[in-house]
Copies of this chain bind each other. A is one copy, B any other.
């Protein structure tokens, strides 16, 4: 690699503008650490004159990022627009074809088109780096690709969505409902003001799970949607009941090899307040990795925001400047496996099931009979009357049962006229 490196930054939102400032202020440090001089030759965003946190050099501004390649020789491109398709995909594709290294925090893009883009990068012998796409500032991808590389990993899981974790923590702290806390999160910049759906329905965490699986198990990025549930149905009531049981609700992303089949899931989970994961609160992210011979490894850090994201983007840059590994997923694409998918019907957990019922004789026995019919045995039961409204809340903690069993059982119970609304089911972590 030559000594003068030309860089383009495309997308100047919160992350892009912070990154640009870091690149400008850390040129000298980067030179000391890599021996390379970097030069920012082009920037691009929708609007040239929008008010931004840091000043931009308007002389190198391009409204259409694809124009950059016509006018400038670029060695490394940062893509921080953030779409899974459209211009994000187009610019990354074009760059790789032109033998330009690409660095991106875009998990939507990588989880959807990672296989195709990886092949393209390898064919053109350039890097495609995406450390910032999973768990913000936590160097988790590099740790799997390098620090823990020869371990046989059996499971990676953790808190991968800071927005959901903040909302769940804050509901517990403030005793406010989901929608009040969501508004607060939006005000603080922890949730998108327009459409926070992708954070809340599990989609964002699922994209990260897909990337983690590919790295941990040397597998192609899966296209199969195994199990994805968000936190939208969690009510303050569930958080309070969990609290009484010394439990806490966390949205977990899980990637695991079960009988050598790939199991990928995102769903809320009840975890012990005494457990490590039960104490990762607010916008923090945490990833737990189980491997042989290393045992259990934990990495925790800030999962989002321009600072942590830039930290990871720059680590990718320095890795490229030092001429380090080329393969986006550690091994060459042709050597990646295509693991079979684990049948989610066989996923087994203890369950928390909350029923809202009419307070009249026989209802409880109707429920427990139905559970017994499906061989779902009760570990714990708490019935709380609401005399005024002639209602009662029944919470049942079950022994382990399979998804298929639970789903069939619940679908039968639901039609019971004494049950006032769809039961809330939350899985318990082992």
A interface residues, Cβ below 8 angstroms from B: 18, 22, 26, 29-30, 32-33, 131, 137-139, 142-143, 146-151, 276, 279, 291-302, 305-308, 310-312, 314-315, 318-319, 322-325, 330-331, 335
Copies of the polypeptide in the assembly: 2
Name 23 A/B residue pairs within 8 A (Cβ), A-sorted. A18-B293, A22-B293, A30-B150, A131-B147, A137-B293, A139-B143, A139-B148, A142-B143, A149-B318, A150-B311, A150-B315, A150-B318, A151-B311, A276-B300, A279-B279, A293-B307, A293-B311, A294-B311, A295-B301, A296-B302, A297-B301, A298-B298, A298-B299
Cα-based distance from A367 to B296 in the complex (angstroms): 47
Cα–Cα, bound, A299→B324 (Å): 23
Chain B residue numbers with a CB within 8 Å of A312 are: 147
Assess the B292–A307 pair: CB atoms within 8 A.
yes
Take A22-B150, A30-B150, A150-B26 as given contacts and tell me if A137 and B319 are in contact as well, using a CB distance cutoff of 8 Å: no
State A278–B33 Cα separation when bound (angstroms). 35
Which residues on B sit within 8 Å (CB–CB) of A323? 323
Give A212 Cβ to nearest chain B Cβ, in Å. 15
When distances are taken between beta carbons in the complex, the residues of chain B under 8 Å from A318 are 146, 149-150
Known pairs A137-B148, A137-B293, A139-B148; list 10 more (Cβ under 8 Å): A30-B150, A143-B143, A147-B312, A148-B315, A149-B315, A293-B308, A295-B301, A295-B307, A298-B301, A299-B299
Question: From A309, which residue of chain B is reached at the shortest CB distance?
Answer: B293
Q: With a CB–CB cut-off of 8 A, which chain B residues contact A299?
A: 297-300
